[in-house]
Amino acid sequence: MQAEIITIGDELLIGQVIDTNSAWIAQQLNLIGIDVKQITSISDEKQHILKTLTDAESRTDLIIITGGLGPTNDDITKKTLCEFFNTNLIFDEKAYLNIQSFFKSI
């Protein structure tokens, strides 16, 4: 199996944040026998995200997406992914309660 990692965020491209996520993900994938063939960093632009996903989908078995600073008020990644996969965001109460429980425990 082959994988590609896509990092999304202007803060990565201007050097404000160092991309340690993709290095860690690549190491973990390698440990389980998945070859990472490409790591791509892109801007927070809808059309750039859509094109990068389309290109990656044509050349790899697994795509992992990660960001720089995490969700911000102007983040378009979730909405753009919904468009790419032709779906909508939904609120999952059970997942929300699990996350709340986790953070209360630490």
Strand runs (DSSP E) across the chain, as ranges?
A: 2-8, 35-42, 62-67
- Enumerate the domain spans of the chain: 2-105
Residue 69 has pLDDT above 90, yes or no: no
Query: Whole-model pTM?
Result: 0.83
CATH, range 2-105: 3.40.980.10
- Inter-residue contact 80 to 49 (CB < 8 Å): yes
In this prediction, residue 71 carries a pLDDT of: 65
Can you name the residues that pair with 7 across neighbouring β-strands? 41, 66
